[in-house]
Structure 1
Amino acid sequence: MKVLPFKIPKPRNEALVYQVDREEAFYDQLHQHGEIQISYIPQGEGTLIVGDSINEYKAHDILVIGGFVPHVFKSDTVASPRSEMHTLFFDLHSFGKDFFEIADLSLTKEFFKKSELGMRVLSNTQQIIGEFHKLASQNKVEQIATLLTIISLVTKSKTASLSSFVYKKSFSDDEGKRMNNVYKYAMEQYSEPISLEEISTVANMSRNAFCRYFKKRTNKTFFQFLIEIRIENACKLIVNKPELSISLVSEECGFNNIANFNRKFKELKGCSPTQYRTRF
């Protein structure tokens, strides 16, 4: 599956693509593709941006990302020096225009609806992982049957959305590159002060134009987005480095005011940083 700056075209004459990626880090450019992807991650952890939202991913996650939903994986190569992902790519019409419309497959409608915002599977994961383990030795007919089994299992499972808003229009390559540059800069520089003038320059836009552009495509301001990145990274430090004080975590994640950090943390996570550490 060839990767372009923002689009991944489906290989010719293949209705279903099964792909295994084993790398030091996953492809870290913001991208979208027409295919829905169902991914199992045996190894690796890091940050996942889907649509307007920042998430963590870790080993043994099962993730579903809908067609044309912008997303990017940012691997944490310190926490996990190797990354591995097994993915099924397909779309609503892969097996014929009306295949998923037949009455026997009516239960799949919920799957496709939820995939529009992306989802993390929270139950039945061992059964789904078991199905993924079969794929490497299967022929195409068997892989299609396994895909239907996985969709059925996901439909029966408890899930959590990966985003709350997805820009409905497909991005052009130029737009994809611009948003990728903004996301990449924010994920790499979140611990430092970032001004509106600075990030507008990264996007090669005026400040006012950038604010309108970003809000339209993510349904939030850039600084709301930046705070979410900082809080997600704070969560990792709180759990993985218990020797760090909450005050130091706050500083390392770009907050210069502990009271503001505590307030934003509670807004996004529903508890204080200290309570979060106790839970995990």
Structure 2
Amino acid sequence: MFFDKAQHGFRVLEQQKELGQFIKGMEHKNRFDRFLGLLQLLSKLCGLPSQTLSLSATAKMRSLDKGERLQRIFDLVIQNFHRPLPLEEVASLSHMTKNSFCRFFKKHTNKSFMDFLIEYRVSHACQQLVLSNSLSISKIEETYGFQNQSNFNRQFKALKGISPSSYKKSFE
């Protein structure tokens, strides 16, 4: 039900303030409680009156071939995100030229391959910053495929809004 509504976008017509407070209250909960909160939120959203935002928005249909190509790309990233992944390698895995691959990936994910790869690397670095007291930031940067520390710091700050060291301190 929720995903049927979300397919075209929707605006909740009642209880917006309460929903906002509920979402803000989830900020300080642990991961499991946030997950439960998300399920509660989705349940609430299904039961509230809403207004469809756009009937012209169409769902992206992926053919089996396109889905398999994307899966091969995602698998490559998951298994090799810690090392350099040149566009030539990823494009050849997809049986495409670099330009065709870039257009294909952007069309189906709404982001460039490099943006996707950087976000994936930063998300793994975040986990290590929080979970590992023994690894230094420079070791984490090296482990997750960033070329140098200044690049890592710049990319991390662009995505998370704070430096890796500040991020780590916020969880200590």
On whether the aligned pair clears a TM of 0.5, the verdict is: yes
Q: Are 1:252 and 2:154 counterparts?
A: no
Q: Are 1:264 and 2:155 counterparts?
A: yes
* The one of 107, 110, 121 aligned to 2:12: 110
Matches within 5 A, 1:116-135: 123=26, 129=36
CA RMSD, Structure 1 to Structure 2 (Å):
3.6
Give the secondary-structure state (helix, strand or coil) at the position aligned to 1:254: coil
Deviation at 1:203, TM superposition (A): 1.3
Deviation at 1:167, TM superposition (A): 8.3
Matches within 5 A, 1:22-171: 66=3, 110=12, 123=26, 129=36, 151-152=43-44, 168-171=59-62
Q: Are 1:228 and 2:130 counterparts?
A: no
CA distance in 2, matches of 1:182, 1:225: 11
Deviation at 1:220, TM superposition (A): 1.7
* The one of 91, 101, 113 aligned to 1:200: 91
Would the aligned equivalents of 1:191 and 1:230 in 2 still touch at CA under 8 Å?
A: yes
Amino acid at match of 1:206: T
Q: 1:204 to 1:262 in 2, by over 3 A?
A: same
Which has a greater percent of strand?
1
Deviation string 1:165-197 (CA, Å, 9 cap, x unpaired) is: x98421111111111111111121100110011
Give the secondary-structure state (helix, strand or coil) at the position aligned to 2:12: helix
Paired residue total: 145
Matches within 5 A, 1:177-188: 177-188=68-79
Q: 1:110 to 1:269 in 2, by over 3 A?
A: same
* TM-score with structure 1 setting the length: 0.45
Which residue does 1:242 correspond to in 2? 133
Would the aligned equivalents of 1:110 and 1:155 in 2 still touch at CA under 8 Å?
A: no
Q: Are 1:277 and 2:172 counterparts?
A: no
**Which ranges in structure 1 are unaligned for 5 or more consecutive residues?**
1-35, 37-63, 70-90, 92-107, 112-120, 133-146, 157-165
Identity of aligned residues (%): 36
Which has a greater percent of helix?
2
Deviation at 1:207, TM superposition (A): 1.2
Q: 1:154 to 1:263 in 2, by over 3 A?
A: farther
* TM-score with structure 2 setting the length: 0.70
CA distance in 1, matches of 2:116, 2:143: 17
Deviation at 1:252, TM superposition (A): 0.4
Q: 1:268 to 1:154 in 2, by over 3 A?
A: farther
Deviation at 1:243, TM superposition (A): 1.2
**Which ranges in structure 2 are unaligned for 5 or more consecutive residues?**
14-22, 49-56
